[in-house]
Amino acid sequence: MKRILAFAIIILASLPLAAEIPLFDRVPAATLLLPHFEVDLSEPSGTSTVFSVTNYDGTPALAHVTLWTDRGIPTYSFDLYLVARDTVEVDLRLLFAGVIPPTGPATGFPGCDGVIPAGPMPDATVEGLRNAHTGAASSLLGGLCGTSSPGPLARGFITIDSTNQCAINNPTSVGYFISGGGGIANNRNVLGGSYRTVQRPSGRSWGEALIAVEASATHDATNGAGEVTFYGRLLSGSGADNREPLPTTWMARYLLTGAATTSLVVWREPGIVAPFACGAPPAGLSTRWLVPFDHEEQFADVQGAKNAAFSLASQRLELEGGPITIPFDAGFLMMGLQLTTPSGAFGMTNQSYVATVIASDAGSAGLTSAFPLDKGVSPAAGDANFIFQCSDGVDNDGDGLIDFPADPGCESSMSNESPRCNNGLDDDGDGLIDFPDDPGCASASSFTENPQCNDGFDNDGDGDIDFPADPGCTSASGTNERRPCSDGVDNDGDGLIDFPADPGCTSASGLTEAPACSDGLDNDADGQSDFPNDTGCESAGSISEAPACSDGVDNDGDGLIDFPNDPGCTSANGLTEAPACSDGGDNDGDGLTDFPADPGCTSASGTDERRPCNDGVDNDGDGFVDYPQDPSCRELNWYTESPVCSNGWDDDADGLTDFPDDPGCESAADESELAGATASACSDGIDNDGDGLIDYPADPGCISRYDANEYNQ
């Protein structure tokens, strides 16, 4: 890591401060680059971009402006005439409405008569321009598309060249560049300018100087075929544009907090890109490498997102919620914006520009250019591949496998191909070398000889590193940072492994596979741990120490949770939510359990197993409660508090029930359905049903001595 930073510092220190070719600096130039513009075409007061062009020379200059889509396809060009020390401003909202800033007349420049000052664009041209930059078929592109980014936000970039004459050509046209400045474009380094993007709805705006690209027909870096020049990919590497290249490698600051967000303005050299059938865009630009750091120089591997992040020639990329997942709140991004495979005259070298836009919730925003880490001139040095063996295209360890992920010796794209556990060195100084001799090596391809719990890495990706910070580590010598519920091990020996298979795991981050009632912890903080000490534990296998009636779970599936909402709970300490008549317990101690076995239960949902004559309730509303106060209760376990003649039973089995239907009942309060009876059938000394058995308890038809008939029910 320190090597990478030192490399960056050395490059920065080596860059001269004075204007020089090739060097990324802000001086008058022959070409200007506006790296990215945005114009909301659906909202007159929406986002827009404005730029200005200045002629720093004491004689007039002609500036040729070309609009390109965010894929790098030229769409429209026009000329601006600037007198000495003149500045012209262009509002892109007006331009997309067909209004070109009037300048001139351009005396002394061929082809400008009738062109400058420019009149309004024809309506068909306006429509074609708008479509070309919003993902619709465009007449300017032969009915094809120039971007896969749908409207209404028009996006792209702009180049502005110092030219010798007015023309409708663009930098892709034959004859536009002739070495020495003899084509449409010349090599006068006289132009400068600035741009700003305004998000009117939020009140934010940002901008900077236009990117200066100097020209020279005599400098060794820009005057010959094969030299990397700014427009070189459009010219098959001829170098006829004589313009210095932009860098390929950048370091950009970022800030991701609750009060601020960061986006990157990124321009990349597109090469020659043809219009395409709408809905079928060409492949995007590949990216060599991408590394985010925090302020402590810790880095994260986000290589998998690198191509999706910077696939366009021009874009503004939001870091928060975008394709790059950065695990740090603040730091810097190292970006190698070269290509991953050689293409055209310059191989993998690919010019670029990067700036950072940091916006606050308060409505302010600012743009800062990123730090260039090279000059973009050498395909070898520009790639900066030597920093990472695992992305340099070379089989460094001679195992026949090249780079990440093909070579198992590569931990990531940003590592070397020789893993520490197979390099012949005692990397951790414990006197043991490599796998299998060093127990800190999980395999020969491991990247550290230290055990996972002492190797300085967040091996399980939970944000915690090593013992004691990582709760998955029980000691510094632990060989696995993963927590017991996601480590692939049956830690509690129950035959079940990890969450969700092991019910002892409440989540993948659980610190034990043991159920809550046998894990040695006081999970509900009641001062009691585990079964049988914790009254909330029904068994050692219970997954919660909280009693069923206060555990936040609908244990009986009746849609009601805990006391007092669930009527099955008699208190918050209840061990079951099931009603007394279906809870599997003999709640009233009569030796009978639940409905229908316990006659105290009239249904499975009954909440009391006690019988009406011992349940503490005045069931018949006569003002008397239970035996012996209620005269209808013959004994403590009597099945009803109601008198015989109003209890709903055919007590004498004559087919007639209660007063007034049974003529044996003199009133609803009569305790016998037998007319004139002085004693119940089960206590009258008579074999009323003729079965040879007399009265309670001898006759099984009698449920008590007060029963009104001896017939078997």
| Average pLDDT for 48-58 | 97
In Å, how far are 161, 664, 685 from 688, measured between CA atoms?
124, 16, 9
Residue of higher predicted confidence among 570 and 692: 692
pLDDT at 129: 98
Q: Domain residues for 332?
A: 31-386
Q: pLDDT class for 302, splitting at 50, 70, 90?
A: confident
> Per the domain annotation, does 469 fall within a domain?
no
Number of domains, the chain:
2
Q: pLDDT class for 10, splitting at 50, 70, 90?
A: very low
Q: Which segment of 219-233, 411-425, 608-622 scores lowest on mean pLDDT?
A: 411-425
Q: Dihedral sign for Cα 52, 54, 60, 61, please.
A: negative
- Looking at 386, 415, 434, the residue that finishes a domain is 386
- Looking at 361, 386, 411, the residue that finishes a domain is 386
Tell me how far apart the alpha carbons of residues 540 and 312 are, in angstroms, rounded to a whole number: 60
Tell me how far apart the alpha carbons of residues 134 and 670 are, in angstroms, rounded to a whole number: 94
| Average pLDDT for 559-573 | 78
Q: pLDDT class for 42, splitting at 50, 70, 90?
A: very high
Tell me how far apart the alpha carbons of residues 31 and 561 are, in angstroms, rounded to a whole number: 73
Q: Dihedral sign for Cα 119, 122, 127, 131, please.
A: negative
Tell me how far apart the alpha carbons of residues 275 and 69 are, in angstroms, rounded to a whole number: 10
> Per the domain annotation, does 186 fall within a domain?
yes
Checking phi first, is residue 537 left (phi over 0); if not, alpha (psi -120 to 50) or beta? Answer: beta
| Average pLDDT for 600-612 | 70
> Per the domain annotation, does 7 fall within a domain?
no
Residue of higher predicted confidence among 702 and 315: 315
pLDDT at 545: 65
pLDDT at 633: 77
Q: pLDDT class for 449, splitting at 50, 70, 90?
A: low
Comparing CA positions, the residue from 274, 269, 272, 301 lying closest to residue 286 is 269
Are 446 and 452 in contact by the 8 Å Cβ rule? The answer is no
> Per the domain annotation, does 586 fall within a domain?
no
Q: Token pair for residue 426?
A: 């005692």
> Per the domain annotation, does 367 fall within a domain?
yes
Note the pLDDT tens digit of each residue in 106-123.
988 999 998 998 889 999
User: pLDDT above 70 covers what percent of the chain?
Assistant: 84
pLDDT at 12: 38
> Per the domain annotation, does 305 fall within a domain?
yes
Tell me how far apart the alpha carbons of residues 701 and 713 are, in angstroms, rounded to a whole number: 6
The mean predicted confidence, pLDDT, of the chain is 82
Pairing of strands 260-268, 314-318: antiparallel
pLDDT at 383: 40
Tell me the longest C-alpha to C-alpha distance in the chain: 143
Is the pLDDT at 263 greater than 90, yes or no?
A: yes
> Per the domain annotation, does 461 fall within a domain?
no
Q: pLDDT class for 488, splitting at 50, 70, 90?
A: confident
Q: pLDDT class for 100, splitting at 50, 70, 90?
A: very high
pLDDT at 217: 94
| Average pLDDT for 633-641 | 72
| Average pLDDT for 209-224 | 93
pLDDT at 257: 83
| Average pLDDT for 581-586 | 72
Three-state DSSP string of 543-572:
CCCCCHHHCCCCCCCCCCCCCCCCCCCCCC
pLDDT at 126: 98
**Which residues, other chains included, contact 701 with Cβ-Cβ below 8 Å and sequence gap of 6+?**
682, 689, 691, 693, 707, 709, 710, 711, 712, 713
Highest mean pLDDT among 169-178, 423-432, 681-690: 169-178
| Average pLDDT for 471-485 | 72
Note the pLDDT tens digit of each residue in 19-38.
577 777 889 999 999 999 99
- The DSSP call for residue 185 is B
Note the pLDDT tens digit of each residue in 386-414.
356 676 666 777 778 777 777 766 766 66
Is the pLDDT at 322 greater than 50, yes or no?
A: yes
> Per the domain annotation, does 192 fall within a domain?
yes
pLDDT at 649: 76
Q: pLDDT class for 209, splitting at 50, 70, 90?
A: very high
- Looking at 336, 371, 386, the residue that finishes a domain is 386
pLDDT at 391: 64
| Average pLDDT for 573-577 | 71
pLDDT at 5: 38
| Average pLDDT for 113-135 | 95
Are 492 and 511 in contact by the 8 Å Cβ rule? The answer is no
| Average pLDDT for 619-636 | 75
* Side chain identity, residue 128: G
Is the pLDDT at 274 greater than 80, yes or no?
A: yes
pLDDT at 8: 38
| Average pLDDT for 184-192 | 98
Task: Provide the 3-class DSSP secondary structure of residue 386.
Answer: helix
Three-state DSSP string of 478-492:
CCCCCCHHHCCCCCC
* Side chain identity, residue 670: D
Pairing of strands 260-268, 211-213: unpaired
| Average pLDDT for 701-711 | 74
Note the pLDDT tens digit of each residue in 537-548.
766 666 666 677
Comparing CA positions, the residue from 702, 673, 675 lying closest to residue 686 is 702
Comparing CA positions, the residue from 615, 53, 703, 655 lying closest to residue 712 is 703
* Side chain identity, residue 224: G
Backbone angles phi, psi at 624, to 5 degrees: -115, 140
